[in-house]
A and B are shown apart, each in its own frame.
Chain A
Amino acid sequence: MSVLSKMKKGKQLYLIILPACAATFVFNYIPLYGVVLAFQKYNPTKNMFQQDWVGLRYFKQLFGSDDFVRIISNTLTIASIKIVSLLITALLLALLITEIRSRKVKTAVQSLLIFPHFLSWVVLGSVVRSLLDQNGFVNQFLMFLGMREPIFFMQDGFWFRVVLVVSELWKEAGFSGMIYMAAISGVDSTLYEAAKIDGANRLQLVWHITLKCIMPFVVLNVILNMPNVLNAGFDQVFILYNYVVLHSADIIDTYVYRVGLAGGQYAYGTAVGLFKSVVSSILIGSSYFIADKKLGFKVF
């Protein structure tokens, strides 16, 4: 069959896929062209295709500023602590919850732990701020236990990062744990029977069978999560931070929003965003590549 007749045969398929292609083109590909703004002087009276070029000016501004080192190191620190602690907590939760004997208790515990996942940071942020106020419930409780001074959770750089990590775990650990639980329940039960006959104790069962069987899945998750070292969680940080903790909490995304979009420096903001996008796509590309080569993971 010739190319043309093959295409004719699938004519209807092209019509069916057209809406998805059109949407992807408009909302993903045009903004990709839009990054040329990083090399232009933005004039709001003209559209995307009519701007004047200025070369690498905004990248020089970015790499020359103190902000650059600060936002990069904040992003990497906050994001990597979050990723590692979320992985460990979720795995532990999954292993411990599976051990609960009563099915009802198991479901109840799981449901309560998953609940915060479905709320927005607007709501969770208000809750966190209200609880951790210097007059808030947590400080009242700590004073009751005998602490003299309240902790300024939201004003102290160190404590603020602790708040970011713990509140992230509060929101996501139950949900991630549930995905690992699905993997654990898929482990072949005859393996356990065999090991029991060989005299393995419970800890050995968990270590040698459960963990070993879900390891490929865990590794896949870690690899696919790797690019997130650049995503420290815009919503959460943006809602919780304030000017006092800016030096230890400002991440790339909040910087782009605050300086670029809200501050009106569109071209400079685009340059910062482009820097992130480029590093990010290298990371995403290599994570898919590794997942494909090592674990045979196919996206499509």
Chain B
Amino acid sequence: MKRNKSISYWVFQIVNTSFLVLLAITCVLPFLHIVAVSFSDSASTSAGTVGLLPIGFQWNAYERIIDERDVFVSLFVTVIRMFFGTIWLMVITISAAYPLSLSRQEFYGRRIFVGFFFVSMLFSGGIIPYYILIKDLGLMNSIWALIVGGTPVFNAIILMNFFRSIPHGLYEAAAIDGASHWKILTRIYLPLSKPSLATLSLFCVVAHWNDWFSGLVYMKDKTKYPLQTYIYSFTQYSATYFKSEMYHETAPRMAIISALNVCAFIPVIVIFPLLLKYVARRGIMIGSVKE
């Protein structure tokens, strides 16, 4: 059977594979460029001669970042919000997913709750009413504004579908033995859905790591910015930062911005293998929603 692979097939294989490999490499080259810029000196960054290797090697940019207390404070803010924000979202996701995964006979009033969540998917108030809500709740300039909020519905649907794939006999057996819903959820459903829970939490962690907008809107104090907001703000208004010293004499502005960006994507690279492992699973989960 192998012999019927024609010459044209092999030509296609070679062209196709090399095209895709080149494309994939091109997609990550820009990140190497940023790393190179972060290690280059002032003259070459402003002349634009830096390619994929640093020119006029220096690490002053990283030294400047390490000296800056605000960078560490923003990292701390990010870690705190990641931790509590993920717990918050997972709790409300599970809270919606378990009852909704049951049938109408088992969960009396399921339809009303489905309607309640469905309406919240259809309509949104928009950013300004949300801003005013945060303000009226007194969460302005508080890290809680970065932790709470968001909607559990989309994650809840994914988790609900997973709960439904758990053999229903387990639920029935436990119910006959007199287990409460709380017991069924915590002793049967949650332990069985660890992979799904890990996937959803991981995506939530990445979302919190990457979020910069809520920091910009709800934090009035620059010292309370999460890391991504700090980088955004530094990139936009770098003239007002590091003003105590003439930072551009020791490290060029472009190098510092690049170094900050490198700090922002290194952790993503570190957990990337884990993300890849779960992403395939999530792809399947999204695909299976159609059933």
Contacts and interface: CB of A to CB of B under 8 A. Distances in A.
A99 interface: yes
A27 B133 contact: yes
Nearest to B136: A47
B20 A97 contact: yes
A22 B289 CA distance: 26
A273 B126 contact: yes
Contact of A135 (B48, B107, B124): B48
Nearest to B203: A118
A285 interface: yes
A284 B121 contact: yes
B108 A16 contact: no
Contacts of A12: 180-182
B9 A96 contact: no
B129 A111 contact: no
Interface of B: 9, 12-13, 16-17, 19-21, 23-25, 27-28, 30-31, 33-34, 37, 46-51, 91-93, 95-96, 98-100, 102, 106-109, 113-114, 116-118, 120-133, 136-137, 148-153, 156-157, 160, 180-182, 185, 206, 209-213, 217, 228, 231-232, 235, 254, 257-258, 261, 264-265, 268, 272, 275-276, 279-280, 283-284, 286-287, 289-290
A276 interface: yes
A190 B152 CA distance: 40
Contacts of B91: 19
A7 B92 contact: no
A152 B129 CA distance: 38
Contacts of A119: 210, 264-265, 268
A175 B286 CA distance: 12
A125 B261 CA distance: 10
Interface of A: 3, 6-7, 9-10, 12-14, 16-21, 23-24, 26-35, 37, 47-48, 93, 96-97, 99-102, 105, 108-109, 111-116, 118-123, 125-128, 130-131, 133, 135-137, 139-140, 170, 174-175, 178-179, 181-183, 186, 202, 216-217, 220, 234-235, 239, 253, 256-257, 260-261, 266, 269-270, 273-274, 276-277, 280-281, 284-285, 295, 297, 299-300
Nearest to B264: A123
A114 B279 contact: yes
A179 B48 contact: no
A7 B150 contact: no
Contacts of B153: 24
Contacts of A114: 276, 279
Q: At the interface, is chain B mostly helix, strand, loop or mixed?
A: helix
Nearest to B36: A137
Contact of B27 (A24, A105, A115): A115
**Most chain B Cβ neighbours within 10 Å, of A3, A17, A34, A181:** A17
B265 A123 contact: yes
A24 B125 contact: no
A211 to B, nearest CB: 16
Nearest to A10: B108
**Most chain B Cβ neighbours within 10 Å, of A18, A24, A28, A30:** A28
**Most chain B Cβ neighbours within 10 Å, of A105, A119, A122:** A122
A128 B261 CA distance: 12
A35 B133 contact: no
B276 A111 contact: yes
